[in-house]
Structure formats: structure tokens, C-alpha cells
Amino acid sequence: MTAVAISLVVNGERVDADVLPRLNLADFLREHLKLTGTHVGCEHGVCGACTVRVNGDIVRSCLMFAVQTHNATVETIEGISDSGEVSDLQSAFRERNALQCGFCTPGMLMAAQDLLKQSPCPDREQIREHLSGNYCRCTGYQAIVDAIETTARARTGRLP
């Protein structure tokens, strides 16, 4: 099986690589680019730990082959952390103890930020629904929903 040349933009930087077709995007990011913030949990699309953005939309990086990202723009947790895009969400997670082991957190932040971009004032039910594809096995979801709700309020100037 021969390698395929791909060219894409990852966190604002052009990346050219030769990849085997069977390599999934999560492994490409982690093993080839050393962007290990994207976590690999179930490898069949159930847990959400590998959530990244491709062309602005959140996707499961375990359910895309790297070859499918030719000409695409990919953003990982490293990219949206470094740019400061989610710094308020990250602070809210820390303050509310919305993480314990941290394995699910990159995916949670990706999904939460996606929701807040589309709907700035979600209610708790909408938050739960948007995060329904992301598993946390430590804290339960109450604190995560709290942190996202608090961030939404702060961003829209509705803090008490």
C-alpha cells in the first residue's frame, strides 16, 4: 500500500506529509505532528475525546483518515488554546472542578466552544444535548455543564 501526499493547514501552519491511507487523523496529529492534546479513546466515534475542528466544523478525528484532510484546515486543542479562543472556558472548567483526570477535557472544550459559537445563550438542556457525544468518566457532567453555562453568561455580559 503506497503512501499518499497530503497538504493541509494545522493550527495556522502549512503541513505537507506522505501518509498511509489507513492512518486516521487522530494518529496523524498525535504521532506525526506530536500534537498530543487530541486524545484517542474508543476509536469508533462514541467517546468524543478525539474531537477536533476541520474546516471550522467539529469532527471525530478517529473517524477521518488523514488522506481526507488534503486541502483542509484543521484546528486542535493546541491551536485554540494558544490563540486564547477558549481561555475563559478553560478557566471556568478549572474553577468549577469540571475536570479530574483531564482525558475528556480537550474534546469537551472543542464541543463546548462549538456550541457557544452557534448559540451564545444555550440552556442546560441544549448544553447537555451538544455534549451528548462526549464521555466523561470522572466528574459526571454537572460541573461541566455549570462551567459552560457560566462562560456563556460571562461572554454575553449576563454575569450576576
Query: Under the criterion CB under 8 A, does residue 74 sit at the interface with other proteins?
Result: no
Q: Which cell numbers in the block locate residue 64? A: 477521518
The CA distances from residue 25 to 36, 131, 142, in Å, are 12, 21, 30
> Can you tell me which of 130, 136, 146, 152 binds other proteins, judged by CB under 8 A?
130
Give the nearer residue to other proteins in terms of CB position, either 62 or 74: 62
Give the nearer residue to other proteins in terms of CB position, either 86 or 97: 86
> Can you tell me which of 92, 111, 116, 148 binds other proteins, judged by CB under 8 A?
111
> Can you tell me which of 15, 36, 68, 155 binds other proteins, judged by CB under 8 A?
68
Q: Helix or strand or coil: residue 77?
A: helix
Query: Under the criterion CB under 8 A, does residue 63 sit at the interface with other proteins?
Result: yes
End-to-end CA distance of the chain: 59
Residue where the block lists cell 441544549: 126
Partner residues linked to 2 by β-bridges: none
Size of the site for other proteins (CB under 8 A): 33
> Can you tell me which of 133, 139, 149, 154 binds other proteins, judged by CB under 8 A?
133
